[in-house]
Amino acid sequence: GNNINVFNTSIWNGSMQNAVDWLVSRVQQHRKTTVAFANANNLNISVNNAALREHYSYADRVFADGSGIKLAGKILNKPVLDNVNGTDMFPLLCKALAKQGAKVYFLGAQKNVIDNMVVQLKQDYPGLKIVGHHHGYIGEGELDNLRVINQINRSNAEILLVAMGTPMQEHWLSKFAHKIQVPVRMSVGGLFDFVAK
Ligand code: UDP
């Protein structure tokens, strides 16, 4: 089949191009979609974290991120087709979203990192509609979180990227899933730190 089972998480086995095309079509159709990236570290965390496993199981696609998953595929005799990681996907996704005129919201990383990233992205992808961004240090306060979610919802974003590290970002997306109105939600780990460099 199209999936590989590693530590009870079903990992989607397909190409980067297919992943990007599929995501962009989900954005276009406003289909409620949750995706995550599973690398060896994330799956190790999931072994002792039922909430993270539940998030992966709830997700529409969990992408095969990195060499640890490739090795697992080899051991399971199910070759992993592609290394579908956030760093390689990001420029392809930004280009496709810009072309489509899709509205994107970025949540996560330290304030200076996310601020710098947005400035840089506006230069690199002039067509990209960044409708909002917020740092990832919101804290536990219910009101603080609801304030940020309100801001996200009011932006009318069509895709939300959350970069607060695993498992915090997945817990956050699960906890507030019913309050977030953005159709497509992606958790992307430390991606913004890489992009902002
Ligand atoms: N982060 C955040 N809020 C927090 C803790 C971390 O936004 O409360 C951000 C941090 O600034 C970094 C990312 O989450 O950008 C975590 O990166 P890391 O490489 O640790 O995550 P991984 O890729 O391993 O999931």
Nearest CA to ligand 1 atom 15: 109
- pLDDT (tens digit, 9 = 90+) per residue, 107-142? 999 999 999 999 999 999 999 999 999 999 999 999
Distance between CA atoms of residues 65 and 194, nearest Å: 15
- pLDDT (tens digit, 9 = 90+) per residue, 30-47? 999 999 999 999 999 999
Q: Residue 70: is its pLDDT beyond 90? A: yes
Ligand 1 atom nearest to 42, measured from its CA: 25
Identify the pLDDT of residue 2.
Answer: 85
Q: Are 96 and 28 in contact (CB under 8 A)?
A: no
Ligand 1 centroid to 162 CA: how many Å? 10
Domain boundaries, given as residue ranges, for the chain: 3-195
Nearest CA to ligand 1 atom 10: 109
Q: What is the mean pLDDT of the chain?
A: 97
Phi then psi for residue 4, to 5 deg, are: -125, 130
Task: Give the pLDDT mean for 71-83.
Answer: 95
Q: Are 33 and 184 in contact (CB under 8 A)?
A: yes
Nearest CA to ligand 1 atom 11: 109
Residues with CB under 6 A from ligand 1: 41, 108-110, 136-137, 163-166, 168, 189-190, 192-193
Instruction: Name the residue of 52, 193, 194, 195 whose CB sits within 8 Å of the most ligand 1 atoms, as the mutation to test its pocket.
Output: 193
Reported ipTM: the value is 0.95
Identify the pLDDT of residue 1.
Answer: 60
**Which amino acid, 23?**
L
Please name which of 17, 107, 98, 25 lies closest in space to residue 60, comparing C-alpha atoms: 25
Residue 6 is classified by DSSP as: E
Q: Residue 104: is its pLDDT beyond 70? A: yes
Ligand 1 centroid to 1 CA: how many Å? 33
